[in-house]
Amino acid sequence: MPSAFDIAARLSANAVDSLPSGALAETLASAAAQGRPLRVKLGIDPTAPDIHLGHAVVLRKLREFQDAGHLVVLIIGDYTARVGDPSGRSTLRPMLSEAEIEANAATFQEQALKILDESPERLEVRRNGEWLEMGMAQMLALVRTTTVAQLLERDDFARRWGASEPISMLELLYPLLQAYDSVAVRADLELGGTDQKFNLLLGRDVQRAYGQPEQAILTVPILVGTDGRKKMSKSLGNHIGVTDEPEEMYGKTMSIPDEAMGEYYRLLLGRELDRDLPPREAKRALAREIVAWLHSPGAAMEAERRFDRVFVQRGAPEQIDELVFEAENGVVHMPGLMAEAFDISRSEARRLIDQGGVSLDEQALAAGEHDLAPERLDGAVLRVGKRRFRRLRVG
């Protein structure tokens, strides 16, 4: 039978920090002696409606704990979302409405369950509004557990303080509220990204102040986006959503730089990249496995077939949305048509034409070719960039 040390080493594989040293093994041994699973906490604020593969890194790690027989406590921060996590921020986050928070929370939970085991003995879903809607006496007791000097040790607070930039009282409260979540659910272990390290450690201090055993912590790497440079983010447009359609998911994965593939293999598939494989074949295998994981093996094979038709055989997709338009004065202004078809600006459309990124029936438009006769467009397939197509019909 493997020792607690061996189990801890396996479960912390690919983690950046396992703190304090040896704490996870001790926590595993203590829980085993009591005949119970670990309570493994992850808190997520529903500040956006969708999750992407960057979120999937920590969710996969949670699934590993579930598969090892432990209980995941997924905390949807419906209350902390009103405050806004200041991690990595230089300004106060905008306040979300109650309706936005509720809608985002429902969507996030649904999408997270694509990765987590939702059986009751393996998953407990809580909202921190259950306990953070507290009275003044409880709030004062929480605030007494921490000093301002301790909070200002946090990197982003220290940087802003040194630059004489404002730090709101709400932002100072946020780490305390997140820490109290660990008290409320009696967490044995908390997971988070590397940007959450301060908050996770503060959870230990607050648990100790409330007379509870201190949680161990694991931080996981932050996945780079499809640009291979910045962290995956919907706002940066470099994300792969866990609910993207199979063909889109496959195509986005094929767009990641070769140098980022090792990280994707390690963090999303749990194994090292086979360096003997040609980069293109390794990337195709990665795209197939991601689609198969989040959809199905059949969807992955179909997504690859469609990708090859468009990008290898240079054919148009088999099914293309149709755009019916009217021609005025016997001419069609292409930037306006593209703006309507693909929800882009006219200036971006003109730039794409002038850079050779727009074609009709696979014939690229020339630079400055902005106005065309409608008979040239009727029935033609308009292609913009690599993945956007419309079949045109004159109304």
pLDDT score of 311: 65
DSSP state of 211: T
Other CB atoms within 10 Å distance of the CB of residue 64: 16
pTM here is 0.74
Q: In angstroms, rounded to a whole number, what is the distance separating the alpha carbons of residues 179 and 66? A: 23
Q: What are the backbone angles phi and psi of residue 166, rounded to the nearest 5°?
A: -65, 145
CA distance 60 to 188: 18
Segments of the chain with pLDDT less than 50? 88-91
What's the first-to-final CA gap in the chain, in angstroms?
Answer: 73
Tokens of 229: 């440079």
List, in order, residues 6 or more apart from 389 with CB less than 8 Å away: 316, 317, 320, 321, 381, 382, 383
Q: Are 95 and 84 in contact (CB under 8 A)?
A: yes
Residue-wise pLDDT tens digits, 35-48: 999 999 999 888 77
**378 near 393, Cβ under 8 Å?**
yes
Residue 79 to residue 173: CA distance in whole angstroms: 12
Alpha helices (H) in 255-373, listed in sequence order? 261-264, 279-294, 297-307, 334-342, 346-354
Q: CA 165, CA 91: separation in Å to the nearest integer? A: 9
CB distance 391 to 354 below 8 Å: no
Cβ atoms 230, 238 nearer than 8 A: yes
311's tokens: 């990008």
pLDDT computed for residue 204 by the predictor: 96
Residue 268 CA to residue 54 CA, distance in Å, equals 9
- Domains belonging to the chain, first-starting first, are 4-220 (3.40.50.620), 247-312 (no CATH), 322-394 (3.10.290.10)
Q: Is 275 exposed, middle or buried (0-12, 13-18, 19+ CB in 10 A)?
A: exposed
pLDDT value of position 90: 46
